[in-house]
Amino acid sequence: MSTRPLVAAPPETIAEVTFDATLEERIVDLLRRYPTRRAAILPVLWLCQERYGWISPGVIRAVAQRLGESPAFVEGVVSFYTMYYTRPPARYVLQVCTTLSCAYCGGKELVEHLKGRLGISFGEKTPDGEFQLIGVQCLGACGGAPVVQINDDYYEQVDIKRLDGLLDELTGRR
């Protein structure tokens, strides 16, 4: 399994956004599934995050306009959930579970090691934009504690040695 890096569009390129035909086609397909346009907000935001890497204010305005909502409403939705990036993410976002089972099965040590190796705290990015560290709550994989999610992929029963190997592999692949 190889985790694909995230590619974040530079802010200036998505200051104003117009959906192209491919994206528009997928939005139309989504709208077919719900009785209201508003219900498509989460899925359309997911499409946008897939395409642009993150949800800029320009993306919020475009989504709002397409779905007939105010930008403030869409912004309110975006900010309620934890998974929409409102600033450009690193290529690899490391989400370490800090909840009970993980914390007691090696998660605490993993967090300390990662902070030391990368020289960053939770919520920060390495200066080269390669890694970002986030402490998250239960990922729903407690049987495989400790769990680290890298971008979309789950890695379970991660110890320090395996994590180091993973990070080496990810950085080596550039």
Partner 1 sequence: MEAVLLRARGVPDSRVIATYLAAGGYEGWKKALAMAPDAVTREVTDSELRGRGGAGFPTGRKWSFVPKDHPGPRYLICNADESEPGTFKDREIIEHDPHQVIEGIAIASYAVGAKTAYIYIRGEFVRWARILEEAIEEARRAGFLGKNVLGSGFDLDVWVHRGAGAYICGEETALLESLEGKRGFPRLKPPFPAVVGAFGKPTVVNNVETLACVPHIMTRGAHWFASIGRPRNTGPKLFSVSGHVNRPGVYELPLGVTFREIIYEHCGGIRGGRKLKAFFPGGTSAPIMTAAEVDVQADFDACGQAGTMLGSGGVIVLDETVDMVEAAANVAHFYAHESCGQCTPCREGADWCKDVLDRMVEGHARAADPETLLRICRFSSSGMTICPLGDAYALPISSMVNKFREEFDRRIGTATPLPQKKLPVLPWAGPRPGFGV
Choice between 43 and 160, CB closer to partner 1: 43
Tokens 């409102």, located at residue: 86
**What is the smallest separation between the CB atom of 20 and partner 1, expressed in angstroms?**
20
- Please, is 103 exposed, middle or buried when counting C-beta atoms within 10 Å of its C-beta (0-12, 13-18, 19+)? middle
Helices (H), the chain: 21-31, 41-52, 57-67, 71-80, 100-102, 108-118, 160-172
Choice between 29 and 164, CB closer to partner 1: 29
Choice between 77 and 163, CB closer to partner 1: 77
**How would you classify the pairing of strands 92-97 and 153-155?**
unpaired
Choice between 104 and 109, CB closer to partner 1: 104
**What is the smallest separation between the CB atom of 35 and partner 1, expressed in angstroms?**
5
**What is the smallest separation between the CB atom of 58 and partner 1, expressed in angstroms?**
6
Closest to 56 measured CA to CA, from 6, 8, 126: 8
**What is the smallest separation between the CB atom of 59 and partner 1, expressed in angstroms?**
9
Tokens for 66, please give them.
């397409």
Binding stretches for partner 1 (CB under 8 A) = 11, 14-15, 33-36, 38-43, 45-46, 56-58, 67, 76-77, 80-84, 86-88, 98-101, 103-105, 123, 137-145, 149, 152-154
Largest Cα span, the chain: 50
Choice between 126 and 144, CB closer to partner 1: 144
**What is the smallest separation between the CB atom of 142 and partner 1, expressed in angstroms?**
4
Contacts of 1 (CB under 8 A, 6+ apart): 153
Q: Report d(CA 166, CA 132) in Å as an integer.
A: 14
